[in-house]
């Protein structure tokens, strides 16, 4: 079929079998690719009730029909598994060059099953696939492991691997590809660790996907380039500031969480915003395959306690490891902590918010200093850097942090200190200052997440359609529609930032040109709705209930005392029933039979 390689690579680590299968055509039509297709396959192949770290879990890498098909359409891939942090379906999106390489190797999906009896890595050299011993790289950090695996296989190979955190089964561990790019959330790194799988190394074989209408694709790609050039955001602001461009607008609207949510606003953000990062630490821009925006940043702290070189941080990481831990003046320490997360294979958001949770509890005298080994005060940059390292190696108090903020806080009897939903830490937008964002966190199928609905774009960033962030009216509809929309985008294999330049028209035109199927926005929304409901069914079968569609109590009860959102709380209870109704779900958040039939589920 046009737009797909038609190949699934299936590797069983227990019995070391390697197979290539054809893609299921019906699933492709209904779930498109990437996130939708892989989630459906996972859902069909495993019992959602299993332990996420057992050999029964599977981990899938998947690209979509638009992944690396032509510049400037980008090259995202998805990692899908049952998430050990959340117990829900996990689906982590990453960029870089690895996804494009997987496509050139000829695969749409890689399914990894079972558990190796000793550390291994998978070496995919086009159609030649091997399971190799990873004993030389086990225990190594991401940079060293990546370099060594390239040396063992092929210098041009691309490496997606875990660091010590994933090996140690940290529930906030990530999978890192291309040295610095992360499939970050829900503890996907630990699933690889549980399978004794250090890395998936891939080298393309020059395979190209068959496109239904190459001329039409060429035309729409040219249109995308024009739009990206025309848009100030994609042509100037993102290249200059990276995703850290969000600090000023979000903070200026009082939706920037400080000190684990005690405040929502910094009077002066000039030491930790995107401009400060660009002016002082960015060496040059970087980016994913096929992308002309290049929003990534190579950074360097030239000297001092936190001297380092590497990539990032992104906006969310800057916040989680910075302001949320009360660090308002040491961007150098934040850069260092971020680079350590990449190196050790940790999710920056969950890491930062687990440390901030510990700081909050320490300040309230709920964690004794003996447990930590030293006082842990808000704003203590040196402790943040140290605790990231200890978490990666599960050393001392780091072993507790490695379980994420929810389990940490719960172990002391105060789970409400964790800024999480479905045990996954929220992102850098205070739901008190952005009502819809709160609903989006609470209902996200993979646990709290900003990118499952991206309503912050409409509530706080001026993206059309813009909405008043402070009201609940209309938010159930907005969240539902955007969740459906992004489900399809994630399944197509391209990057959300493209949409700060291109429009939906370019998106459907590209899908049509590549797949030969006539796409329009109705089909985009319907496909997304099907994917969303399918993921929801996975979670229900995994044992999640209406109680898991929730927010931490502080956002529902505690009012910020300063800044533009002074006196506000999130009114989730006003939005959730309407959201369920719009979704065709009952009051317990369970899809009705009618809705499932309508979607062919």
- Residues of the shown chain interacting with a copy of itself in the complex, contacts defined by CB under 8 A: 230-232, 236-237, 240-241, 245, 248-249, 251-254, 267-270, 274-275, 278-279, 462-468, 470-471, 473, 563-566
CA atoms within 13 A on the CB side of 93: 27
Please give the full DSSP string across 390-415, using - where no structure is assigned: HHHTT-THHHHHTTHHHHHHHHTT-G
Closest CA to 146 of 163, 130, 131: 163
How far apart CA 60 and CA 38 sit, in angstroms, is: 6
> For residues 123 and 319, which CB has a smaller minimum distance to a copy of itself in the complex?
319
Q: Please give the backbone phi and psi of residue 491, each rounded to the nearest 5 degrees, phi first.
A: -80, -20
Least Å distance, CB 240 to a copy of itself, is 6
Cβ contacts of 281 within 8 Å, gap of 6 or more: 299, 300, 301, 331, 332, 335
> For residues 236 and 305, which CB has a smaller minimum distance to a copy of itself in the complex?
236
Residues 519 and 504 sit within 8 Å (Cβ to Cβ): no
Least Å distance, CB 279 to a copy of itself, is 5
Chain centre to alpha carbon of residue 481: 20
Least Å distance, CB 502 to a copy of itself, is 12
Closest CA to 547 of 452, 408, 423: 423
> For residues 236 and 558, which CB has a smaller minimum distance to a copy of itself in the complex?
236
Least Å distance, CB 94 to a copy of itself, is 27
Cβ contacts of 588 within 8 Å, gap of 6 or more: 545, 546
Least Å distance, CB 263 to a copy of itself, is 14
How far apart CA 320 and CA 350 sit, in angstroms, is: 8
How far apart CA 517 and CA 47 sit, in angstroms, is: 33
195 backbone φψ class: left, alpha, beta (φ>0; ψ -120 to 50):
alpha
> For residues 72 and 404, which CB has a smaller minimum distance to a copy of itself in the complex?
72
> For residues 155 and 267, which CB has a smaller minimum distance to a copy of itself in the complex?
267
How far apart CA 66 and CA 329 sit, in angstroms, is: 41
Least Å distance, CB 527 to a copy of itself, is 24
> For residues 242 and 404, which CB has a smaller minimum distance to a copy of itself in the complex?
242
> For residues 464 and 594, which CB has a smaller minimum distance to a copy of itself in the complex?
464
> For residues 79 and 498, which CB has a smaller minimum distance to a copy of itself in the complex?
498
Residues 512 and 216 sit within 8 Å (Cβ to Cβ): yes
- What's the CA dihedral at 76, 180, 401, 420 to 10 degrees? -30
CA atoms within 13 A on the CB side of 521: 6
Least Å distance, CB 233 to a copy of itself, is 9
Least Å distance, CB 283 to a copy of itself, is 16
Least Å distance, CB 241 to a copy of itself, is 6
> For residues 78 and 460, which CB has a smaller minimum distance to a copy of itself in the complex?
460
> For residues 92 and 273, which CB has a smaller minimum distance to a copy of itself in the complex?
273
Least Å distance, CB 194 to a copy of itself, is 44
Tokens of 447: 């646990």
């Amino acid at each position: 079929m046009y737009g797909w390689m038609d190949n699934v690579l299936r590797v069983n680590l227990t019995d070391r079998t390697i197979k290539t299968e054809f893609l299921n055509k019906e699933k492709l039509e209904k779930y498109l690719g990437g996130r939708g297709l892989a989630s459906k396959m996972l859902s069909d192949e495993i019992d959602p009730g299993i332990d996420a770290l057992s050999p029964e879990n599977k981990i899938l890498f998947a690209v979509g029909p638009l992944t690396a098909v032509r510049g400037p359409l980008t090259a995202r891939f998805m990692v899908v598994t049952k998430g050990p942090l959340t117990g829900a379906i996990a689906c982590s999106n990453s960029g870089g060059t690895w996804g494009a390489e997987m496509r050139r190797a000829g695969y749409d999906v890689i399914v990894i099953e079972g558990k190796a009896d000793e550390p291994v890595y998978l070496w995919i050299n086009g159609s030649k696939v091997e399971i190799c011993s990873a004993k030389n790289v086990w225990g190594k950090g991401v940079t060293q492991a990546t370099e060594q695996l390239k040396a063992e296989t092929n210098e041009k190979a691309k490496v997606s691997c875990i660091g010590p955190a994933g090996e140690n089964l940290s529930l906030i561990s990530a999978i890192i590809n291309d040295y610095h790019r992360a499939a970050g959330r829900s503890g996907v790194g630990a699933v690889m660790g549980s399978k004794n799988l250090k890395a998936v190394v891939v080298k393309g074989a020059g395979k190209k996907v068959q496109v239904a209408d190459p001329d039409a694709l060429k035309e729409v790609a040219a249109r995308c380039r024009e739009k990206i050039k025309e848009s100030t955001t994609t042509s100037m602001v993102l290249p200059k500031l990276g995703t850290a461009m969000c600090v000023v607008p979000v903070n200026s609207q009082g939706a920037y969480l400080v000190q684990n949510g005690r405040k929502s606003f910094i009077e002066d953000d000039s030491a930790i915003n995107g401009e400060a990062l660009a002016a002082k630490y960015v060496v040059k821009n970087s980016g994913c395959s096929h992308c002309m925006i290049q929003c990534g940043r190579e950074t360097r702290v030239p000297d001092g306690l936190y001297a380092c070189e590497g990539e990032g941080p992104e906006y969310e990481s800057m916040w989680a490891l910075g302001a949320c831990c009360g660090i308002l003046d040491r961007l150098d320490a934040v850069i260092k902590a971020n680079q350590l997360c990449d190196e050790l294979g940790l999710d920056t958001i969950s890491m930062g918010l687990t440390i901030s949770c510990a700081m909050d509890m320490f300040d309230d005298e709920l964690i004794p200093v003996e447990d930590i080994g030293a006082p842990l005060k808000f704003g203590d940059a040196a402790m943040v850097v140290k605790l990231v390292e200890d978490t990666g190696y599960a050393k001392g108090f780091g072993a507790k942090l490695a379980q994420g903020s929810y389990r940490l806080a719960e172990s002391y009897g105060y789970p409400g200190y964790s800024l999480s939903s479905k045990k996954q830490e929220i992102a850098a937008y205070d739901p008190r200052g952005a009502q819809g964002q709160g609903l989006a966190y609470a209902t996200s199928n993979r646990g709290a997440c900003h990118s499952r609905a991206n309503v912050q774009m409409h509530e706080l960033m001026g993206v059309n359609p813009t909405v008043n962030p402070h009201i609940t009216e209309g938010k159930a509809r907005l969240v539902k529609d955007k969740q459906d929309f992004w489900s399809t985008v994630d399944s197509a294999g391209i990057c959300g930032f493209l949409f700060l330049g291109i429009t939906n028209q370019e998106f459907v035109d590209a899908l049509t040109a590549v797949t030969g199927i006539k796409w329009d926005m109705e089909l985009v929304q319907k496909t997304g709705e099907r994917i969303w409901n399918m993921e929801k069914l996975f979670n229900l079968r995994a044992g999640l209930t209406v109680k898991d569609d929730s927010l931490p109590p502080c956002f529902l009860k505690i009012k910020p005392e300063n800044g533009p959102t002074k006196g506000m709380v999130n009114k989730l209870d006003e939005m959730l029933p309407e959201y369920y109704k719009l979704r065709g779900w009952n009051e317990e958040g369970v899809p009705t039979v009618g809705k499932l039939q309508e979607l062919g589920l």
